[in-house]
Amino acid sequence: MEIVDLISPESVVPNLRATSKKQALQELARRAAELTGLHERAIFDVLLERERLGTTGVGNGIAIPHGKLSNLPRLYGLFARLEKPIGFDSIDEQPVDLIFLLLAPESAGADHLKALARVSRLLRDKTVCEKLRGTDSAEGLYALLTESPASRAA
């Protein structure tokens, strides 16, 4: 499972405007609805339900909201760099400015976990995050996110 399997250039948002966690999730749900063809409210409800279990703000300015939907044909990802950092109830209590949304079919099982692990590994890389924070274009962000791990190590 590679990042390129999860996102497309259309699923990268270079300057998401949101002033709260709820607003960010609503905006991400709206954009995810356009990509998946699913209803925006269904996506938002799944994300909100997941946040009630515990925050997806993983620290260092990063959040990985995720959820499963029954009528989703495959895994979908959406990456957003926020215009301004927002509070996200993160485990380190720091505001979030990088969000990777992951949606999976209910039947995804291990694929969902593999995708979460892959996204988490990528966003734990401080160098990658610095580059993401310094890039203003969707094309540039997409290129950074989908660059192969081997070429990043070079």
Q: Check whether 151 has a pLDDT greater than 60.
A: no
Report the 10 Å Cβ neighbour count for 69: 19
Distances (CA, A) of 49 to 21, 45, 153: 13, 6, 37
Least confident of 24-33, 64-73, 143-152: 143-152
Active site residue 66: yes
Domain residue extents for the chain:
3-147
Q: Check whether 153 has a pLDDT greater than 80.
A: no
Report the 10 Å Cβ neighbour count for 51: 19
Q: Dump pLDDT digits (tens) for 102-133.
A: 999 999 889 999 999 999 999 999 999 999 99
Provide the pairing of β-strand 62-63 with 76-86: unpaired
Q: Which two tokens stand for residue 154?
A: 């070079």
Catalytic hit among 21, 66, 81, 118: 66
Residues 6+ apart with CB under 8 A from 48: 22, 25
Domain 3-147 of CATH type 3.30.413.10: no
Contact 90, 24 (CB under 8 A): no
